[in-house]
C-alpha cells in the first residue's frame, strides 16, 4: 500500500506544470556582432554605417564599443571606456593578433574581421546564423538574471551585463583626423559589467541599476577570456 501511494505521489509531482517566466529568453539566441571603433579613427565611418544597418536585421544584436587608444591623436572619444578596450584586448589574444585595431568586427566571439570589409562581415554573420546552438536558458525576474544549465566550455564561462543606447548617436568631431566631420553610430555601449562566472549549473546574478535612462539591457553568456558567446538575452518589455 505504501509503495502504491509513493508511486501515485510521483505521478502527481511529474504532472505539475513547470513555471514559465515572462522574461525568458527567446528560443533562438541572436547573432552578436561587436564593432570596435573610435570617433578619432579616419577609416571607421563606413564600418559604423554598416553595423548600423545590421542593427535593424532580425536575429542580429549589433553592439558598438568605442575604444580610447586613439585619443592621443587629438580627439578624446566621448563614448570610450577603458573596459571596452580591455574586452577587445581579450579578443586580440584569442585570435593571436599583433595588436588591437579599428574598425574591427567580432561575430559571436568566434570569428573576426576588419569592419571595413562589409561583404566579409555579412558572410561571417550568415555563417553564424547557420551554426548549431544550444544556449542556456536566460530569464529576468526581481532585479536578477537567471542563467540555466547547459554544457559549459572548458574552464567555465562568464556572464556579462551590457547596456547600450539604441538611438543613433551623432558626434561633431572638432579635432584630430576626423575634424569637421559628424560621426554617427548605433547601439552604442555605455556600460559593461562582468556579473560573475558560470559553470553550467543554474546561477542567479543581481543586476545593478542602470547609470543612465533610455539604455537597453542585454546579458551575454560567454566562454572565458574572450571566448565564444554561448547565449544572449534581453528582458522583455
**Secondary structure of 156-169 as H, E, C letters:** CEEEEEEEEECCCE
Set of cell numbers at residue 159 = 556572464
pLDDT, tens digit, 9 for 90 and up, residues 41-85:
999 999 999 999 999 999 999 999 999 999 999 999 999 999 999
10 within domain boundaries: no
Q: Looking at the domain assignment, is residue 5 inside a domain?
A: no
pLDDT of residue 10: 37
Taking the model in full, what pTM does it have?
A: 0.89
Under 8 Å between Cβ of 156 and 130: no
14 in a structural domain: no
**What is the model's pLDDT at position 28?**
77
CB atoms under 10 Å from CB of 172, counted, come to: 11
Determine, yes or no, domain membership for 203: yes
Q: Is residue 2 part of a domain?
A: no
Number of domains in the chain: 1
Q: How high is the pLDDT of residue 4?
A: 44
Is 177 a member of any domain? yes
Assess if residue 121 is contained within a domain: yes
Give pLDDT, residue 22. Answer: 40
Nearest to 61 by CA among 140, 166, 141, 148: 166
Q: How far apart are CA 215 and CA 165, in angstroms?
A: 5
26 has pLDDT over 70: no
- Evaluate whether residue 8 is within a structural domain: no
pLDDT (average), residues 8-24: 36
Q: Write the CATH number for 134.
A: 3.40.30.10
Query: Residue 153 is part of which domain span?
Result: 23-233
H helices within 16-60, ranges in order?
Answer: 45-54
Amino acid at each position: 500500500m505504501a509503495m502504491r501511494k509513493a508511486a501515485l505521489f510521483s505521478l502527481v509531482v511529474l504532472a505539475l506544470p513547470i513555471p514559465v517566466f515572462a522574461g525568458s529568453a527567446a528560443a533562438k539566441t541572436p547573432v552578436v556582432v561587436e564593432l570596435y571603433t573610435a570617433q578619432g579613427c579616419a577609416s571607421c565611418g563606413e564600418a559604423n554605417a554598416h553595423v548600423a544597418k545590421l542593427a535593424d536585421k532580425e536575429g542580429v544584436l549589433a553592439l558598438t564599443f568605442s575604444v580610447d587608444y586613439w585619443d592621443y591623436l587629438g580627439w578624446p572619444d566621448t563614448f570610450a571606456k577603458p573596459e571596452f578596450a580591455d574586452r577587445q584586448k581579450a579578443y586580440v589574444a584569442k585570435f593571436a593578433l599583433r595588436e588591437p585595431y579599428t574598425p574591427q568586427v567580432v561575430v559571436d566571439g568566434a570569428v573576426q574581421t576588419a569592419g571595413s570589409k562589409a561583404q566579409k562581415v555579412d558572410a561571417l554573420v550568415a555563417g553564424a546564423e547557420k551554426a548549431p546552438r544550444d544556449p542556456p536558458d536566460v530569464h529576468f525576474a526581481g532585479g536578477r538574471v537567471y542563467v540555466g544549465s547547459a554544457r559549459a566550455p572548458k574552464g567555465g564561462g562568464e556572464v556579462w551585463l551590457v547596456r547600450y543606447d539604441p538611438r543613433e548617436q551623432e558626434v561633431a568631431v572638432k579635432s584630430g583626423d576626423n575634424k569637421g566631420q559628424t560621426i554617427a553610430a548605433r547601439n552604442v555601449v555605455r556600460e559593461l559589467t562582468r556579473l560573475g562566472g558560470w559553470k553550467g549549473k543554474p546561477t542567479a546574478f543581481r543586476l545593478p541599476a542602470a547609470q543612465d535612462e533610455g539604455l537597453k539591457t542585454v546579458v551575454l553568456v560567454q566562454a572565458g577570456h574572450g571566448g565564444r558567446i554561448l547565449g544572449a538575452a534581453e528582458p522583455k518589455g
